[in-house]
């Protein structure tokens, strides 16, 4: 991996981590609940944007390898929060909130896949 790619991923990761903290906090403050909606929100948003980007990457030549790395691995890799999702789900289970844990796991897993596919197909509509 070239130093330019490493720099692109690292700088994108910095931005994505800041976005994650900010957006997750905003969502959590707007929707206080035992279910961690902040984490869910950034996972769904990040998955949708990833779907959009991957479609653009596949069907256009607008982006260089470094820009692709900056956007996908960097920003979106840091924006989505699957390690946070995992520990929040664990704590829900440990606290005896089995239904909330199952809902959190289902919404994050299936919702993220749905949003990634939705983003992909939305982007394809504009590309073709």
Q: For 52-96, write each residue's pLDDT tens digit.
A: 999 999 999 999 999 999 999 999 999 998 888 998 999 999 999
Closest to 49 (Cα-Cα) out of 109, 122, 99: 122
Give the residue carrying structure tokens 């809902």.
Answer: 103
> What is the pLDDT confidence band of residue 38, given thresholds at 50, 70 and 90?
very high
Structure tokens at 21: 């903290």
The pLDDT value given to residue 128 = 72
Structure tokens at 120: 């992909």
Q: What is the mean pLDDT of residues 111-125?
A: 96
Q: What is the mean pLDDT of residues 47-55?
A: 94
* Residue-range domain boundaries for the chain: 3-127
The pLDDT value given to residue 122 = 96
- In angstroms, the CA 3 to CA 82 distance is 27
Helix pair angle (37-59, 98-127), 10° resolution: 30
Structure tokens at 13: 């990761």
Q: Does the pLDDT at position 18 exceed 90? A: yes
Cα 118 to chain center, whole Å?
14
| Mean pLDDT, all residues of the chain | 95
> What is the pLDDT confidence band of residue 104, given thresholds at 50, 70 and 90?
very high
């Amino acid at each position: 991996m070239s130093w330019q790619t490493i720099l692109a991923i690292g700088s994108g990761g910095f931005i994505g981590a800041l976005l994650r903290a900010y957006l997750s906090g905003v969502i959590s403050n707007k929707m206080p609940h035992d279910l961690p909606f902040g984490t869910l929100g950034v996972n769904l948003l990040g998955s949708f944007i990833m779907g959009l980007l991957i479609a653009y990457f596949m069907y256009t030549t607008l982006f260089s390898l470094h820009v692709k790395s900056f956007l996908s691995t960097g920003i979106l890799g840091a924006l989505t929060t699957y390690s946070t999702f995992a520990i929040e789900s664990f704590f829900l289970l440990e606290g005896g909130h089995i239904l909330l844990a199952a809902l959190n796991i289902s919404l994050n897993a299936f919702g993220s896949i749905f949003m990634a596919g939705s983003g992909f197909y939305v982007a394809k509509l504009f590309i073709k």
